[in-house]
Structure 1
Amino acid sequence: MKSLDFDFIIIGSGLAGLVAAYHAADHGTVALISKSELDVSNSYHAQGGIAVAIDKDDRPENHFQDTLTAGRGLCDHDAVDILVREGQQCIQEIISCGMEFDRNENGELFLGLEGGHTHRRILHAGGDATGKLMTSFMLKKVLGKKNITTFEYTVAVRILVDDGHCYGVQALQFVSGENILFKGRATVMATGGLSRLYTRSTNPHTATGDGVALAWRAGVQMADMEFIQFHPSALSLPGEDAFLVSEAVRGEGARLLDVNGERFMEGIHPLAELAPRDVVAAAIFRQMKKTDASYVYLSLKHLDAKYIRGRFQSIDAHLSRLEIDMTEDLIPVAPAAHYMVGGIRTDLWGQTNMPGLYACGEVASTGVMGANRLASNSLLECLVYGKRAIEKARRNLQEPKKTDNTPAPIFLNKETDEEFLSVKNELADLMNSHVGILRNHEGLISAFEEVNKKSLKYNAPSNDYNHHKIKNLIDICRLIIQSALVRKESRGGHIREDHPEESAEQTKHIIQQLGKEIQYEPVRITK
């Protein structure tokens, strides 16, 4: 088995991984590992923008409070404070490096408004192509660094652990079928989310939670896995993917109507369509049940057509291909799994409970997101915490491990492709039915039992990559379900029909770790 040595190993090429690789390159050699092409990630598909309090009428304190409000009492105050304050500096740095955000006719930065924000603070690039342009910008910067070596179509299959320390990862190269040991003095997980675990998802097909499963199996702590954010407005057409219609569309005044043409958000929340995502998604879901429909409508008929087409060029182009005029036609939308709010538990510097292993981006639970992510905070978290993870890692680089332990190889096997797809689809349907927007004890227990049945079938050790992926999916489903069963309340992205109210006693993080009982961690409150 080939072995390659680097100072830093970065797993994932979304914005968090690219930021981490860029900063790590100033302190040593870097391996950047991507499961697919380097530009395939949730970050790349982010339409809404990036939130930062830079307007003269806005302050970090306002952004801080809006984040806490959206997070429903589960945000760690110190983590949010770091985000909103250091985020300003990170934005200025990326602009000074040449990143261009949209500006108005006076040359001033254009600031949009999205759900949960009390001020216009959302920076955009290319209208609704912010993620694409930011990711492409950082990728160009990364490719210009001589001591970064990139590995596309290479998937991490095992975290290498010796005496409780991470010393790298085992990876499988899809093109050659070769197993590679990437040995490093610091390893950073930036593998993104897991929302492809659900039938309807806005995520690319690569977002299957690999990083969560690998870290869990290695003994790393997970936090708040019950909180899955469903984006309220994903296109709902037969035979079409759940294409995301950005929240910024509602920020510009779009209205939600049920199938009878009735506007319904005004009586549910003071901010109506601009309420936090958990509120809007749940309201849409309930309205769909009430009207016996599989979607609601998004209407922009009352808005300036020329402005809307210019502001949302990518969305307009996509809908036009489907013969939908976003300025004249009602757009059918329904919630879709969008963002993993919890994840690998880290400290304020991206450090996990395992020495040598760090995490940043969507895969990490830094304490910023609480029970519900505030819109457009995710790209900012990538900038801030991707950089902080490297700041911590470079100061704590481990001595290279001289272990002779060689793990068993993982092999590609085309004959089990259909088996994997079948199990994946069964699990996705199960999660959608019982662990979706609305949950209850009976449904969660039913899902847990079904997942355990699957687990028994795939318990035996296997060198088959498809079986490895099935085990990953099973582990992740079980983590989410177990955490959802324990949290007997409704809060943020976790809504229990049998426990509809928030419980003050459950204002705490749920921590899961392999081989240990569930732990509870208090929310960190700034004094």
Structure 2
Amino acid sequence: MNITSEFLVIGSGVAGLTFALKVADHGTVTIVTKKEVSESNTAYAQGGVAAVQSDIDSFDLHIQDTLSAGDGLCNREVVEMVVTHGPERIKELIDLGVQFSLCDDAAHKAPGTDYDLGREGGHSEKRVLHADDMTGREIERALVEQVKRHPNITLLEEHIAIDLITISTRVKSGMITTTRDTTCCGAYVLDKTADTVKTISAKVTVLACGGSGKVYLYTSNPDVATGDGIAMAWRAGASVANMEFMQFHPTCLFHPEAKNFLISEAVRGEGAVLKNEKGEPFMEKYDPLKDLACRDKVSRAIDSELKTSGADSVFLDISHKDPAFVKKRFPNLWRQCLKFGFDMTKDPIPVVPAAHYMCGGVATDLSGRSDIKHLYAIGESACTGLHGANRLASNSLLEALVYAHTAAEQAIEDAKAWKDTSVQLPRWDDVGATDSDEVSLLTTNWDEIRRFMQNYVGVVRSDKRLSRALNRIENIQNEIREYYWNFRVTADLIELRNIAVVAELIIRSAMKRRESRGLHYTINCPDKNDAEWLRETVLKRTITHM
């Protein structure tokens, strides 16, 4: 089945939906999403979205906080653009119907705004807008309502992209032909319900596929976060950058039945204290900001405490605060913790670090363009230069909003400039492939990748651990490639193929950076090396044909 659209958006989080709404009046839009439209990393974002709102805050402060968190690797031009455009993008959300929490306590209201602003780790002022503790879900709700009403938007739920479709100019040198000037023309997409593959052609393709947390054993991410956008872009020949910088959220609930339940950074922002198994606060040993230190420092501190004590978890304690305040500020967290047997108004909550946010991704310019023509990446699939070596809390939704806007402006022009309407895209060919009778291979490799990534490429790394991880992923990649070409594709196979690619990119990037900076810490090079490594780690796949 062939589908033609001006704009193809792969992913349905805040970045993808915002982009779709902004371009829909200029052409047809097809949105592809793996499950139902609201199942995305956005919907799980509890804390909020950072943007200057009060009279005591300023763009300069937010810019400096972002640069400090990024540990020398942020692109200042990008940071300034995102921060200064933030308030306008927030106003657009409010106009769409997003209901951020208002402050009804005059004594705690920030001057110049009626919104209840939170403060999180690394922020010098209160600037985090939230909708109770379900901010992402509220933003997603408003965007989905608008998307479903727009006549130019087609929503394909229960569809998963397999690979991008590209056309290229090839240059021959001797016996080697090198691919150059690659243009993206759409994607092959598996309809999970009908078990058929669709060919979707588009003038502009946008990767808004979200994160890569499922590459690790412990993650705050939902099951859909398998790094699909990064993996597809890499296979197509796009550059990726800073893949070693996986942000581990320090406080994921430690409980056998809690699959990926995050305890928001906002809890520490409201006064929660991290304690060891003896009930002793420990953050003052690691950072002068104590419990409000940035996530990389808090995660390493917890990792150190766990390795020293041998305990399974540390504890996050907000029981010293007024119970009524806790229940009002964190209603969803309080209810969810009760389901697992913890009353956060009385009990310390057991927590561990878990893979949370990928600061690297498809390398893009200020408009979200990759180095493949007509291919964009926005949101967590992209490496824009905003986050550098470590993301400042609640800057992710802000980045998604701003880049959805700038990408939409450029994409509209790219679609208008598309000249070659005669390109005939090859249809999906699975002739000779059979249904698999070796499903155990998928589950075994899936589990092995996540376990060795957690153990060898986690919060603290070493040359030996990374070398072991690389050997393992190369062997698994060979098995997956053989399996992929012999059997019909399934959603599980597509996701396994993608997490294997992302795992390899993380490992190779971590091996390449010979220093410790931000989220990347290796015991073999424990110090920063500004002389050689005050730059992005860029990987480029050269596609050749013999």
Q: Mark yes or no: TM-score above 0.5.
A: yes
Show the counterpart of 1:485. Answer: 511
Q: Which amino acid aligns with 2:128?
A: I
Aligned counterparts of 1:261 and 1:201: Cα–Cα separation in 2: 25
Show the counterpart of 2:55. Answer: 56
Q: Number of aligned pairs?
A: 515
Q: Which runs of 5+ in 1 are unaligned?
A: 518-527
Show the counterpart of 1:521. Answer: none
Aligned counterparts of 1:467 and 1:21: Cα–Cα separation in 2: 28
Pick aligned residue for 2:115 from 109, 134, 153: 109
Shift of the alpha carbon at 1:416? 4.0
Does the 8 Å contact 1:462/1:468 carry over to 2? no
Moved more, 171-180 or 236-245: 236-245
> What is the RMSD computed on CA atoms of the aligned residues?
1.6
1:77 aligns with 2:76: yes
Does the 8 Å contact 2:274/2:282 carry over to 1? yes
Does the 8 Å contact 1:177/1:412 carry over to 2? no
- Aligned to 2:285, the other structure's residue is in SS state coil
Does the 8 Å contact 2:212/2:499 carry over to 1? no
Pick aligned residue for 2:471 from 442, 449, 457: 449
1:373 aligns with 2:399: no
Pick aligned residue for 1:314 from 332, 339, 347: 332
Q: TM (normalized to structure 1)?
A: 0.95
Aligned counterparts of 2:442 and 2:434: Cα–Cα separation in 1: 12
Q: TM (normalized to structure 2)?
A: 0.92
Summarize deviations over 1:314-349 as a string: whole Å, max 9, x none.
Answer: 100101112211010111001000011100010000
Q: Which amino acid aligns with 1:418?
A: S
Shift of the alpha carbon at 1:414? 6.5
Q: Which runs of 5+ in 2 are unaligned?
A: 107-112, 169-181
Pick aligned residue for 2:525 from 475, 482, 499: 499
Does the 8 Å contact 2:206/2:377 carry over to 1? yes
1:408 aligns with 2:407: no
Structure 2 CA distance for partners of 1:499 and 1:394, relative to 1, 3 Å:
same
Aligned counterparts of 2:323 and 2:312: Cα–Cα separation in 1: 27
Pick aligned residue for 2:347 from 329, 347, 361: 329
Shift of the alpha carbon at 1:401? 4.9
Summarize deviations over 1:267-286 as a string: whole Å, max 9, x none.
Answer: 32121111110010110110
Structure 2 CA distance for partners of 1:401 and 1:451, relative to 1, 3 Å:
farther
Shift of the alpha carbon at 1:468? 4.2
Summarize deviations over 1:166-201 as a string: whole Å, max 9, x none.
Answer: 010110000001111111111100000111111101
1:513 aligns with 2:540: yes
Q: Which amino acid aligns with 1:36?
A: K
Q: Which amino acid aligns with 2:94?
A: I
Does the 8 Å contact 2:191/2:197 carry over to 1? yes
Show the counterpart of 1:151. Answer: 156
1:235 aligns with 2:261: no
Summarize deviations over 1:55-89 as a string: whole Å, max 9, x none.
Answer: 10001111010000001111101111111011111
Moved more, 271-280 or 413-422: 413-422
Show the counterpart of 1:393. Answer: 411
Q: Which amino acid aligns with 1:431?
A: M
- Fraction of identical pairs, as percent: 38
1:299 aligns with 2:317: yes
Structure 2 CA distance for partners of 1:371 and 1:386, relative to 1, 3 Å:
same
Aligned counterparts of 1:412 and 1:497: Cα–Cα separation in 2: 47
- Aligned to 1:78, the other structure's residue is in SS state helix
Does the 8 Å contact 1:236/1:242 carry over to 2? no
Aligned counterparts of 1:498 and 1:294: Cα–Cα separation in 2: 26
Summarize deviations over 1:94-125 as a string: whole Å, max 9, x none.
Answer: 22332211011168111001000000000011
- Aligned to 2:283, the other structure's residue is in SS state coil
1:342 aligns with 2:353: no
Does the 8 Å contact 2:237/2:543 carry over to 1? no
1:464 aligns with 2:524: no
Does the 8 Å contact 2:435/2:487 carry over to 1? no
1:198 aligns with 2:216: yes
1:476 aligns with 2:502: yes
Shift of the alpha carbon at 1:409? 4.1
